[in-house]
Structure 1
């Protein structure tokens, strides 16, 4: 030792751990030189498997076609787009872990496509620490742009309350008076049913009751029995993926549509294709529809047909629009640094597949038109398709800032 200070093993371990934490802490990580000049990395932690795997697969296809088309044009700001795609299986803990790995190991600071609202709610508290921007392409839970809003989160898609509001506006002139609701038993389902109940009461309609089914439910007969016995004129559905397909098939089997009108927050082609004629007559809001006649949508549909030989579905269109919002923000910011990109995205407006989309500065929600569709048979299509039967301006379907409630 001869007079020299030699720290204990425990002290050295403490210093070592502290040093490692300093190096690895996302709070102080900054964009590397390669991240500022190399490919623009966009991370998509997606539910590619599980009950909502069909939604995650749509988001994946939407992002991939955008990246392919944009890279053929030279990328964004002359930089190629690189997509980092991982399967979360719809598990919030998996989603946080996959997103964190993208940030810390692959220096990816742009996130999108997180499929379930429960996953998004788990990720958003981490965004400031990760110095990352997350733009939602499908998350429905209204809280993400209300009490759970964080500065680095933006929503380009139609939210659950917005879809529900379109349905409620449509029903104001309908003869239907008594309503029941069935939703998936997680954040999005509860949130949308809550908004529907509030809107029904506000419209002087009778809201009889509600029930929630766990994701992955195979047998919907007990729920169908409750709906039949409720005395409702119509049932409002907040279902997606395998659950939606199972319910619609079984509803037809039990002849529920003969007694109760089926209304839904989301009409998508995946469910229509899965259940065929069991979807006929279904009325609901649509976050995106290939049948909407708009020059940019017609162009997108043509691109999609060329690539996939079919028309784009709901979340393929929503993901495409989300990528266009990302692109506009990055161009305006002149790069992908979070602080500059956040400022650029606030109050940005683009023209896209659904017309004008304005990202509102006050709560980062994308204000856009609301669509109502009815599932019908049309010449030239093997399966039924959603036909647009009503549109509502974004100002009437978007909640007041930082809320899930509406002006009237």
Structure 2
């Protein structure tokens, strides 16, 4: 290049001082250093909000678990349809825990470490949920349980990351006992599924019965997933109770009721099933369940008086050929729905802000107002006492229960924070 050309180009370039060169170099170095951080922030803002959902899709509680997954997905779909969290969509990752604590722990650990979930919701057994809770609390992941348990609220198992959306046995059996014992008599027998859920239900009935002077005349345990109840029912029949409390769940509840009906027990005593299940009632038929009284978190006929129940039913019916949702399905809907409400209120998926938001949350997903008690994160909610209808009284195939009483939402029906081992 000739000297004249160099001179012309140089005259067009700005003069650059040494100070400006050093300043520019420093800014460039800062930008390079911040690059990965800015990338990670942008990535976090775009990534989906992942919710792990371990439930027993196979096994004796499979119908309830599948229903919970369907209803949880509705909550996710509604959150996404509303725009998510500033455009961040939610994603439900369903896993089969096979109703086994060890399997549940493995699946939960995979969800956290491999799938990088932000939250976990699910489980459908008192012992399984404790296994899930042990994994999540050790890793600082919020867990919303949607199955009945007393122990999960107790200080030895609880952590700040633990939330319990489902009713607990103390609430459920307590409500049913307070309703039934004054009406049907004081001689009480128990048929008990021999694991945590069954024994916690018995404890709830006994505590409720103290005020009514009940006399326990038989306590008969059976293994989980029993098919033949003939070894157990004669022991109960021989005790001549006024009331039989069926402290079991799922197919165990259905099979024991069918066989108890065959033994003629329903003509001799009032049957109570603290968690009286919609799916099992429909599967078991009107004859086996007729006249049985129990408790529930939900029955679809609440739509006649509760706006949120009608809204929930309407969206479920649209996706399920006109059928209404079940009681345990509603737990899946509310567990995930309330969690996502907390995320929206916190404006983040970070655990501590979401915990604070959930502790302050008042929510009405399907049954009226609920909230989490701060000391143990138990959802305070109404309990409905239901009675199974005879076939002739059913308006349609889904009209299986009458709601005969409501225990309104109140902390007074819970065990106290001190009883649970909490300081406040």
- Which position in structure 1 is the counterpart of 2:368? 355
- Aligned-residue offset at 1:393: 1.9
User: Which of 43, 53, 57 is equivalent to 2:52?
Assistant: 43
Aligned equivalents of 1:85, 1:108: Cα separation in 2:
11
Aligned equivalents of 2:181, 2:238: Cα separation in 1:
24
Unpaired segments ≥5 residues, structure 2: 1-39
- Which position in structure 1 is the counterpart of 2:289? 279
TM-score relative to the length of structure 1: 0.87
TM-score relative to the length of structure 2: 0.84
- Aligned-residue offset at 1:303: 1.4
- Aligned-residue offset at 1:299: 1.3
Whether the 8 Å CA contact 2:108–2:135 is kept in 1: the answer is no
Give a deviation string over 1:228-272, Cα, whole Å, max 9, x none.
111101111122111112111111221211111110111121111
- Pairing 1:373–2:386 present: yes
Are residues 53 and 68 of structure 1, via their aligned partners in 2, closer, same or farther at CA, if it must alter by over 3 Å? Answer: same
Give a deviation string over 1:154-191, Cα, whole Å, max 9, x none.
01121111101111221253142111111211111111
Aligned equivalents of 1:32, 1:45: Cα separation in 2:
29
Aligned equivalents of 2:292, 2:394: Cα separation in 1:
18
- Which position in structure 2 is the counterpart of 1:289? 299
User: Which of 397, 403, 406 is equivalent to 2:413?
Assistant: 397
User: Which of 311, 325, 328 is equivalent to 1:299?
Assistant: 311
Paired residue total: 374
- Which position in structure 1 is the counterpart of 2:241? 232
- Pairing 1:335–2:348 present: yes
Are residues 358 and 221 of structure 1, via their aligned partners in 2, closer, same or farther at CA, if it must alter by over 3 Å? Answer: same
Aligned equivalents of 1:338, 1:168: Cα separation in 2:
38
Give a deviation string over 1:80-123, Cα, whole Å, max 9, x none.
11111111110101101100101101110201111211111112
- Aligned-residue offset at 1:69: 3.0
User: Which of 329, 336, 339 is equivalent to 1:316?
Assistant: 329
- Which position in structure 1 is the counterpart of 2:24? none
Which is further off, 196-205 or 108-117?
Answer: 196-205
- Pairing 1:141–2:156 present: no
Aligned equivalents of 1:218, 1:109: Cα separation in 2:
39
Aligned equivalents of 1:119, 1:367: Cα separation in 2:
22
- Aligned-residue offset at 1:384: 5.3
The SS at the match of 1:209 is: strand
Aligned equivalents of 1:115, 1:70: Cα separation in 2:
24
Aligned equivalents of 1:290, 1:402: Cα separation in 2:
35
- Which position in structure 2 is the counterpart of 1:212? 221
- Aligned-residue offset at 1:383: 5.7
- Which position in structure 1 is the counterpart of 2:69? 60
Are residues 69 and 186 of structure 1, via their aligned partners in 2, closer, same or farther at CA, if it must alter by over 3 Å? Answer: same
Over alpha carbons, which structure has the higher Rg?
A: 2
- Aligned-residue offset at 1:290: 1.0
Are residues 133 and 32 of structure 1, via their aligned partners in 2, closer, same or farther at CA, if it must alter by over 3 Å? Answer: farther
- Measured on the aligned residues, the alpha-carbon RMSD in Å equals 1.9
Which is further off, 70-79 or 182-191?
Answer: 70-79
Whether the 8 Å CA contact 1:145–1:402 is kept in 2: the answer is no
Unpaired segments ≥5 residues, structure 1: 1-30
Whether the 8 Å CA contact 1:47–1:89 is kept in 2: the answer is yes
